[in-house]
Chains A and B, each alone.
Chain A
Amino acid sequence: MVSIDGRGDSKSLIRARGLGKTYRRGGEEIHVLQGLNLDVNAGDFVAFMGPSGSGKTTLLNLLGGLDVPSEGSVTVAGDEITRMSGAKLTAWRARHVGFVFQMYNLIPVLTAFQNVELPLLLTSLSKADRRRHVETALAVVGLADRMRHYPRQLSGGQEQRVGIARAIVADPTFLLCDEPTGDLDRKSADEILGLIDRLVREHGKTVLMVTHDPLAAERARLVLHLEKGVLVESVTAGEAR
C-alpha cells in the first residue's frame, strides 16, 4: 500500500518523512521538494508523473541514495540512508537499488553480458556464479541470444532490456526507473513496460518509475503526481489517463 500522508504503517519498505531538497542557484534558493512524505510497500509498482521541474527525478535520486536531502529522512528496509556516509551509501546502493535509465547508459565497449555483469563484480560471487546470474537475467529480459553483442549492435528496445537485466541481476530490493520508455518507439516501449510489469507480478519486484507517458503510468498500480515539489494527489492507474 502506498501513502503520502506520513501515516504509513511500520511495514513500509520505503519510507520518506518530511523530505525536502533545496538548491541554491546564484543568490536564489530553489525548493525542489518540500516536506514530502511517502510510504511504499514491498511489491508495489508506483509511477510518478508531473511537469518538468516538478522534482520527480530529484525524488528518485533521494530515494536511490544518489543525492542527500536538505531536510527529512529516507528509510529503506529499516536502514536510514540519509544518515549514511558516502562510502556506506555506495555499498548500500550496490546491494539494494537497481537503476533503469532513460538513455540506457550501457558501457559501449562492453558486451551485453559484461554490462549486465557489472553489479556482480562488486559481490563475492565466483566467475561461474556470476555467469549463471547474468544468463538468468538476460533470459528474463529475452536476450539470452544477444549476450555477446555490443550495445551498438542492439536496437533501442534491446539496449533498454539489457539495462533492465543489469538492474535486476543482483536481485536488488527495489528498482528505480527514470523514463524507461522515453527514448523508445511505442512498440518497444510496450515491450519494456510489459517486462517491468512482469518483474512486479511474477518476481515480486518493487518498482518506482518516473514517466511523462500516461500509457506507461497506466501499467503502475498507483500514480502519484508531483507539482512544485509536493505530492499533491494519489490516483489509481485507471484514473491517471
Chain B
Amino acid sequence: MKYLHLVVSNLFRKKTRTVLTAGSFAVALFLFGILAAVDGAFKQGVDVAGVDRLVVLNRVSIIQPLPLAYRDRISRIPGVARVTFANWFGGVYQDERNFFPQFAIDREHYREMYPEFVVPDDQWQAFLADKEGAVVGEALVERFKWKLGDRIPIKGAIFPGSWEFNIRGIYRGRRPQDDTTQFWFRWDYFDERKQFTKGVVGWYVIRIANPDDAVRLVKVIDEQFANSPTETKTDTEKAFAASFVKQMGNIQLLIMSVGSVVFFTLLLVTGNTMAIAVRERTRELAVLKAVGFRDGFVLALVIVETMAVAAVGGGVGLALAKLFTLRGDPTGGLMPFFYVSPQSIATGFGLALAVGLAAGILPALSASRLRVVDALRRI
C-alpha cells in the first residue's frame, strides 16, 4: 500500500493520455459485453433445454407439419413418458416490430411438459375453460402492460384473419434464464379456426423416461415413420435449439472474430502508449533504481500501472454494457435474453487484465533492464 501513491501519481501524470487509454479499454469491453449478450441470447435456448426432452419435426423442414395421428403412435413407443405438441403461429400484435413468439399448444400435456414454466392452477383452469384463452409470459405482460382478462387482437400472417384472445393466465420461469416472452393459446381453437391443413401440428415434444436412452429413442422414432409420406427428424431439445441457432450463422465465430480484432488492436494501442510512457520516464525510473529500488520493483510498477488502466477502463466498459442491457431486448423480441451474465463480466474483466498485462510486459521489461548509468548519462 505504501507504493500506491506512486502508481496513482503516475497514472495522473498525463490525464488525457490515461483517460484515452482507459477509454480504449472501456469501448472494447463495452463491445465485448454487448457481443457476449448477443451470443448468450442466441444460445439461451441451448442452455435451458431439458435433458429429458426430444423434439420431433418433419424431416423435410421445420415449417412442414406432422400429422396429429403421430401423437398416439409416438406415445406407444417404450421409453416415451409423455408427448405434447405445438404450432408456430407467427401473428402480428399492433405492429410488426412487436415481435414475440406465439404458440398454439396442446392444452392437455403442454404444461406438464415444461415444469420450468409456472402457471397458477386457477389461471390454468380459466385458460382451459375459455376456447379463446391465452397464457402469456410475465416479460410480455411487463412489456405491453397487459393484465388478466385483457383481450388481445393478433393479426394472422401465416394463418390469415384477425384472431382475438383473452388473457387467462400469466406464467413465470423458475429460473432467471427461462423465456417468459411467449404467448400460448389453445391448439384446438387454432385447428378449428384455420381454413386449411387441419389435423396437423408443427412439432412434437417428447419426455423420455430415461435421458440415457435418448440416442436409441431418436433412432426408434425416426424408424417408426421411415418410408411414410411424412418422415420425421428427431433430436434432443438441446441439439434442436443448437441447430436453430446455427441457422442464423456461426454467431460465436463472428463474435470471436470481432472480439479478437478489437483486443489485438487494443493490445497494440496500449502497448505503444505504455512504451511511450516508459520512454518519457527513463530518467525517473533510473533515479528510482539509483536510490535503491530493485529491477523487479520497476517491472511491477509499470505492469501495475498498465493493469490499473485496464481494470478501470474495462470495468467502466463492462458496467456500461450491463447498463445498456438492463433496458432489455433492443430488437423488439428477437433476443428475449439480452443481458450480460456474471460469467461474461468475469471473462471480460479477465481479458482486460490479460491485455493490460500483455501490453505492459515489454515496456516493463525494458524499464527493469534499464542501466542507470546509461539512463542518467551522468549521476
Query: Which residues of A are interface residues toward B (Cβ below 8 A)?
Result: 57, 60-61, 64, 66-67, 86-87, 90-91, 93-95, 99, 101-103, 105, 107-110, 114, 118-119, 121-122, 127, 166, 176, 178-179
Contacts and interface: CB of A to CB of B under 8 A. Distances in A.
Contact of B5 (A57, A90, A105, A114): A114
Given A121-B3, A176-B379, A93 B291 contact: yes
Interface of B: 2-3, 5-6, 9-10, 12-13, 283-284, 287-295, 372-373, 376, 378-379
A61 B294 CA distance: 17
A178 B372 CA distance: 14
A110 B288 CA distance: 13
A105 B292 contact: no
A90 B373 contact: no
Contacts of A114: 5, 9
B18 to A, nearest CB: 12
Q: Helix, strand, loop or mixed for chain B's interface?
A: helix
Contacts of B292: 90-91, 93-95, 119, 122
Contacts of B373: 61, 66-67
Contact of A109 (B9, B288, B291): B9
B284 A105 contact: yes
B291 A118 contact: yes
A46 B379 CA distance: 16
26 contacts: A57-B379, A60-B379, A61-B379, A66-B372, A67-B373, A91-B292, A93-B292, A94-B291, A94-B293, A99-B287, A101-B376, A105-B376, A107-B9, A107-B287, A108-B284, A109-B9, A109-B12, A109-B13, A110-B9, A114-B9, A118-B288, A118-B291, A119-B291, A121-B3, A127-B2, A178-B379
B70 to A, nearest CB: 76
Given A66-B373, A90-B295, 15 more contacts: A60-B379, A61-B379, A90-B293, A95-B292, A99-B287, A101-B378, A105-B284, A107-B287, A109-B10, A109-B12, A109-B13, A114-B5, A118-B291, A119-B292, A122-B293
